[in-house]
Amino acid sequence: MGWPYIGETLQLYSQNPNIFFASKQKRYGDIFKTHILGCPCVMLASPEAARFVLGTQSHLFKPTYPKSKERLIGPSAMFFHQGSYHSHLRKLVRAALSPDAIRKMAPQVDSLALSMLDSWSGGCIMNTFHELKKFSFEVGILAVFGELEDHYKEQLRKNYSMVDDGYNSYPTNIPGTPYRKALLARRRLGKILANIVLERKEKRLFHVHLLGSMLNSKDESREALNLEQVTDNIIGVLFAAQYTTASVMTWILKYLHDNGKLLEALKAEQDGIQRSNQRENRSISWAQTSKMTLTKKVIQETLRMESIISFTYREAVTDVEYKGYLIPKGWKVMPLFRNIHHNLEYFTDPEKFDPSRFEVAPKSSTFMPFGSGTHSCPGSELAKLEILILVHHLVTKFRWEVVGTEHGIQYRPFPVPMHGLPARFWKESTVPEKSGFS
């Protein structure tokens, strides 16, 4: 269980999670305990256990996060709830991010992707992860607000960055620490969002986007969401939309850079769509993304390999017995997606990047990149659209060269290539002759 109070938190956030979790699984089996972020935890590393907690017996476990993280998102965010309140909010988010809504967003996401990539071209060294976070943030803004004034975007981006830094730091509420700065930034975010909400109410700007849906909604008792509930959930959705999607896109660039044959095959798939759009003078559409078969396999394999979300938090609402083990009431319970995704029993040669493995659908509960059950990610389809559009433009119009020789991984706690994958980008028509580009 590690040190008093600290437990094994430092090991979790400083080691390769494959090593941290896999070494424990090897020593103790598929069920073991630890102590992280001030909480005693039971960790479960099998598909059956994940299905037990997230599916068949989910009523025995409630969604939960460490209090330090709840404070930064907001206690009214749907992530921390179950029952009718969670169901009501989830319906709102799913409606705002439904296939019909996303289909209409495709041209705007396409425009955002092209604008960002154009700003990269010219051969300057870019921190790829940092830049892709900006792109994901812009897409999140589009989904939540529709159009939003630039000064509000800048205020939100600045304070979200501070919350980011503190979210995965040790939760010490002392002046000068990242966590303290994050708490102050979170208060400012609440005020900024409150101003946006009040403005839109005054102007009756209830367009078809997530904020509009929340402002128009009534629950079963005909009660509207209050200001705190709206702001907490907007903050939660924007936070979830930014970091994880940017991590996946950064890894895809790395894998394509390192695998020339795969890049050429992907380019051949996307070139056909590009030629069709050029003939008809149109942007990429939602319908065209369904034809990106190989690209989707690359996304799936990246999600498996890197398992951006290594685990999820639940809490036992009563004493629970599972396979002869007692899970005490109040303990955190954490299905380990990463361990399942790297299990040799379900994925042959699991440390090898091989998109072709997804030509056959994985067995039930062995591939859960967006979680499982009633708390699975409601924005997964928007994330996929964002990635597919970005990859389309990258491989058809641009070339890139990763700078440096380091192959390490940084954990924050989401895995990203070392230093955010520094790279140079060029438009295909302007690539220097002696470049080692992909």
**Which residues lie closer than 8 Å to 119 by C-beta, 6 or more apart?**
none
Q: What is the widest separation between alpha-carbon atoms in the chain?
A: 68
**Which residues lie closer than 8 Å to 284 by C-beta, 6 or more apart?**
106, 110, 273, 277, 389, 392
Query: Is 406 in contact with 240 (CB distance < 8 Å)?
Result: no
Tell me which residue of 308, 296, 303 sits closest to 356, measured CA to CA. Answer: 296
The phi-psi region of residue 127 (left if phi > 0; otherwise alpha if psi is between -120 and 50; otherwise beta) is beta
Question: How far is the C-alpha of 48 from the C-alpha of 56, rounded, in Å?
Answer: 10
Tell me which residue of 57, 6, 12 sits closest to 374, measured CA to CA. Answer: 57
Question: How far is the C-alpha of 172 from the C-alpha of 159, rounded, in Å?
Answer: 19
Extended beta strands in 277-380, E state: 314-316, 320-322, 325-327, 332-335
Tokens found for residue 331? 């303990």
The phi-psi region of residue 406 (left if phi > 0; otherwise alpha if psi is between -120 and 50; otherwise beta) is beta
Question: How far is the C-alpha of 144 from the C-alpha of 242, rounded, in Å?
Answer: 12
The reply to whether 377 sits in an annotated binding site is yes
What's the one-letter identity of residue 345?
Answer: E
Binding-site sequence positions:
377
Binding-site sequence positions for heme:
377
